[in-house]
Amino acid sequence: MSNENTGLLAGPDGVVRCFWHGNLPDYLHYHDHEWGRPVADDRRLFEKICLEGFQSGLSWLTILRKRENFREAFAGFDFDKVAAFNERDVERLLGNAGIIRHRGKIVSTINNAKRAREMVDEFGSLAAWFWKFEPGKEERPKNVDLAHLRANPTTAVSVRISKELKKRGWSFVGPTTVYAFMQAMGLVNDHLEGCVCRKGVEKERKAFQRPK
């Protein structure tokens, strides 16, 4: 049973969670075990920001269900390998029915792999660069509720990250895409108040060693 005002949904197990997974088993597993949990692994971060770019204009569930295909197609999102992709690889990927066959997004992923390599050379890791933008308490709402999330598809921090990435030559990294990335990789905890995962994710974030 869902509540349109709170954005919470009781699952078949009777547990109350954020509503957006719709109790679909694979989506619910992603909500419970992955979304919002802090990530410091560069390859996973690169995967997440690229897939958020592919998601633009589509549902995240569509991307989630194709994620293994994407991983196979893009060398496990090893950005050193993806940076070496050429036009032949672009044509190969355009022929791959298991992924989203959008030339602009495919070319963007290859470009972003090169930019990721540059950032690692400069900052030591992608994780160190992204985590330096973690919002302070004063930049976060006192209560994370549905009204706040609906009113804020972007934030000042996501705008800032987007601008910095674009300056560095990244593409398909608009503020909305970046905020979805921030939510997914745990830079913020946007599990709603009342969701069973919220306290656990917050505990995990507190224990998380921020990369330097």
Q: Which of 27, 35, 52, 170 is catalytic?
A: 52
Active-site residue identified among 35, 60, 129, 131: 60
pLDDT of amino acid 5: 77
Residue 140: CB atoms within 10 Å: 16
The residue annotated as part of the active site, out of 30, 164, 193, 204, is 30
Q: What is the pLDDT of residue 212?
A: 87
Residue 19: closest CA among 192, 179, 183, 201 = 192
pLDDT, one tens digit per residue, over 36-47 is 999 999 999 999
Coil vs helix vs strand at 3 = strand
Is 60 among the residues known to form the active site? yes
Active site residue 179: no
Q: Which residue has the tokens 């990789």?
A: 185
Q: What SS3 state is found at 10?
A: strand
Those residues whose C-beta lies under 8 Å from the C-beta of residue 19, and which sit 6 or more positions away, are: 2, 3, 7, 8, 9
Which tens digit of pLDDT belongs to each residue from 40-67?
999 999 999 999 999 998 999 999 999 9
Question: Is the pLDDT confidence value at 1 over 50?
Answer: no
The pLDDT tens digits for 103-157 are 999 999 999 999 999 999 999 999 999 999 999 999 999 999 999 999 999 999 9
pTM assigned to the model = 0.96
User: Is position 202 annotated as part of the catalytic site?
Assistant: no
Q: Is the pLDDT of residue 2 over 90?
A: no
